[in-house]
Structure 1
């Protein structure tokens, strides 16, 4: 079940909201926990077991860490055991077949693949569970003694499937003490509606263009068609992912939770460093806090810092999926960030603003080619098409057709990617605002009624 489905919008969500607000406050976390399990089990019921194992494991390790008079060594062993269990589950379901394939290729063996479907959202809730243990170990959060409250944190359906990654210390207080009110609920509905429109009206529609171009042999693409295609994908993944984040944040507000922002207009970035401060903020902050800084960050000299940056970006790429293209994508940005850190940024900020912006966008678009194609031959062919090395023309009739039939949508996408003044400016919604958001919701639902193209981009995460 996904947020952008009629089943969720008109059956699951209304039922959960009614049950939640009709229940006494003391059992509302239980309601959220049970309904989150139903949400998660809708596609693959058996995978509830994995989530419950992960939840129970980290809950138990948290209680062990809370015991008095534990030696430092024992505390470290508890944390290590928790991380091993979490990463073992994640690795088995997400990376086992990748490892087997590579072993078979290198050694000529024929080890059978597991062919297990990936549990949806396992990367997100695994990182959340690990953040809990590490926060308790560091003393930045207290161990949660109520298993239902902890289960609610892990399984909370608004951010379970596609983030944002919520660190335990961020919502520990909210789990047992939060305020639900009309203003907060209205803001949640507004934010959810914006996210739904971004996903359904913008991402899905520009995704059709990318779907058409990406299914064409790259060797036959003109230069401008190839660039138009990867621009379409860039818009699709941004409005899809940020749309889901908006919906998650909106749903959280409806239930009294405040989640951190996950995107901040990334396509206005003037460097790759700036881009990664704006894109998937929760993932970047997780790796910075739980990997980069513990490795030493920038405190142990230049060589160690370079090593730490490359490790973080190798892991960032691998987190996204069990494929070499994701590793290449992560290292690609890691190398660029290293270059910017010690050479590039000093030169960049001497250039005009528009030049810095073009520089960032070109590198981002090249990065999306590495991200979206999982075969080296396709990556090279598509990059060749973008560079005009496939001996095709600059444009042809197909290019003009794609451009003319999508020009209005592209203009809307560009405008929607730019900063704008907050609307409404006040803390309350006027009648015109209600009409506007109602219209967006109506358009989104109308699209979903007849939609045959409503992809879910996070099945590999």
Structure 2
């Protein structure tokens, strides 16, 4: 589910905001956090449900390692945790690269299974490593319920494209209570920035991509392109990437802020 898709803008985001707010008012913070965790899993699973168990398994193993770091030898289980997370990332992200290099050096075919790269695996892997390090240094809360830890890892505005954040910076925001007037003011400001980010993506980045992509495709096919047209495509591509990331960053940040402001 893309942040600029109709499904996200007109269905998932407003429904999530409404459900979260109603649940928090009627049933309290903990139930609202659990709901938001489930909504974030739905958001992730909308792309590919097969990788939800992998995400949950990663969360479960890291939560177990946190308990061991607290109770046992910190350095030993921290190393185990970092190794586990990096190996998980390597299997899904670099297995094909490793296979190609082995085959190039040995001249034989090893036929390792082809794995689709799970979206967001780099972000949730490194976020969990950061949390393990913070726990080992006594820099964050350690007795975290599974639903809160799960939300910390797979909160939908940052799950698929970051940014990587620390637990002590993010989770206390869900415990805050804001007055109605302050909430309304912040929500209006957030909505304006959200619209600006969306406009960057739809009105600037996407049209630039429509101009640059066919020219890059022609160059790849060996078709001669005029000097100035080629440089125009290069500049257009650079601006497309800039406005894409800039727009997405603002959309993600405001999506997260909307949730925080309803806390």
Q: Give the TM-score normalised by the residue count of structure 1.
A: 0.52
| 1:11 correspondence with 2:11 | yes
Query: 25, 45, 49: which one pairs with 1:45?
Result: 49
Write out aligned runs for 1:145-164 (5 A): 145-164=144-163
Q: Pairwise mapping of residues 224-263 of structure 1 onto structure 2 (< 5 A)?
A: 224-256=228-260
1:162-204: CA deviation from partner (whole Å, max 9, x where unpaired):
1222222321422434548212222222222111111111111
SS at match of 2:229: helix
Question: Does residue 1:55 correspond to 2:54, yes or no?
Answer: no
Q: Whole-Å Cα distance in 1 between the matches of residues 80 and 147 of structure 2?
A: 22
- CA contact 1:203–1:240 (8 Å) conserved in 2: yes
Asked if 1 retains the 8 angstrom alpha-carbon contact of 2:23 and 2:32, the reply is: yes
Total equivalences in the alignment: 252
Q: For 1:424-451, what per-residue CA distance to the aligned partner results, in whole angstroms no more than 9, with x for missing partners?
A: xxxxxxxxxxxxxxxxxxxxxxxxxxxx
Partner of 1:191, secondary structure, is helix
Partners in 2 of 1:75 and 1:120 — Cα distance? 31
Deviations 1:235-274 (A, max 9, x none): 11111112111111101110117xxxxxxxxxxxxxxxxx
Task: String of CA shifts for 1:302-326, please: whole Å, max 9, x gaps.
Answer: xxxxxxxxxxxxxxxxxxxxxxxxx
Secondary structure in structure 2 of the residue aligned to 1:120: coil
- Distance in 2, matches of 1:192 and 1:115, equals 38
Q: Distance in 1 between matches of 2:125 and 2:192?
A: 29
**In the alignment, does 2:69 pair up with 1:65?**
yes
* Alignment TM-score, normalising by the size of structure 2: 0.90
Alpha-carbon distance in 2 for matches of 1:169, 1:145 = 11
What does 1:396-435 align with in structure 2 at a 5 Å threshold? none
Name structure 2 gaps, 5 residues minimum. Answer: none
- After superposition, residues 132-151 of structure 1 pair within 5 angstroms as 132-151=131-150
Counterpart mapping for 1:56-455 below 5 A: 56-67=60-71, 70=72, 74-177=73-176, 179=178, 181-217=183-219, 220-256=224-260
Equivalent residue, structure 2, for 1:21 = 21
| Matching residue of 1:324 | none
Instruction: Report the CA distance between 1:113 and its aligned residue.
Output: 4.2
Q: Give the match's secondary structure for 1:66.
A: helix
Gaps of 5+ in 1: 258-461
Residue pair 1:159, 1:248 contacting (<8 A) in 2 also: yes
Higher relative contact order (CA 8 A, sep 6+): 2
2:123–2:164 contact (8 Å) kept in structure 1: yes
CA contact (8 A) 1:199 1:243 kept: yes
Once the two structures are TM-superposed, the CA of residue 107 in structure 1 deviates from its matched residue by: 1.8
Distance in 1 (CA, whole Å) between partners of 2:232 and 2:139 is 47
CA distance in 1: counterparts of 2:124 and 2:49, whole angstroms: 17
More helix by share: 2
Aligned-CA RMSD value? 1.8
TM-superposed CA distance for 1:54, in Å, is 1.3
In the superposition, relative to structure 1, how do residues 106 and 223 fare at CA in structure 2: closer, same or farther (>3 Å)? Answer: farther
CA distance in 1: counterparts of 2:244 and 2:102, whole angstroms: 35
**What is the distance in 2 between the residues matched to 1:59 and 1:188?**
33
1:44 CA displacement: 0.8
User: CA offset at residue 226 of structure 1?
Assistant: 2.6
Aligned partner of residue 209 in structure 2, secondary structure = helix
Larger radius of gyration: 1
SS at match of 1:55: helix
Contact 2:174 2:260 in 1 (8 A): no
